[in-house]
Amino acid sequence: MKNLLRISALASILAVAATHPASAQTCDYLVTCFDYLPEHGYPDPSWQYSHQCCDLENHTTIWYVYIDSADGWHLVSSTIPP
């Protein structure tokens, strides 16, 4: 009887775990990006890399922050794979 209860409990746990989708990976461990910075696909060769930041809206896009010669900041994206 004890084995039947253990198997039943384990089956219940596995059934609940199977119905919940895997969580998407986030970049919340990084600082949050300013939402007004211009976004680009690629950095200009003259820009200097500064740091990474996490997208304010979706929390799954890491933006690489570059600084131009006039001290303007620019974002270049890289999406985290699921």
Cβ-contact 16, 47 below 8 angstroms: no
Is this structure's pTM higher than 0.85?
no
> For residue 51, which of 29, 20, 81 has the smallest C-alpha distance?
29
In-domain check, residue 44:
yes
Mean pLDDT of 5-26: 50
SS3 7: helix
Cβ-contact 36, 23 below 8 angstroms: no
In-domain check, residue 55:
yes
- The whole domain housing 60 covers 24-82
Task: Quote the pLDDT of residue 77.
Answer: 80
Regarding predicted confidence, which is higher, 80 or 45? Answer: 45
In-domain check, residue 18:
no
Cβ-contact 57, 36 below 8 angstroms: no
> For residue 52, which of 43, 82, 24 has the smallest C-alpha distance?
43
Give the number of domains in the chain.
1
At residue 5 the predicted structure's pLDDT band, cuts being 50, 70 and 90, is: very low
Q: What is the pLDDT of residues 16-72, one digit of tens each?
A: 344 334 456 889 999 999 889 999 988 999 999 999 999 888 898 889 999 999 999
In-domain check, residue 13:
no
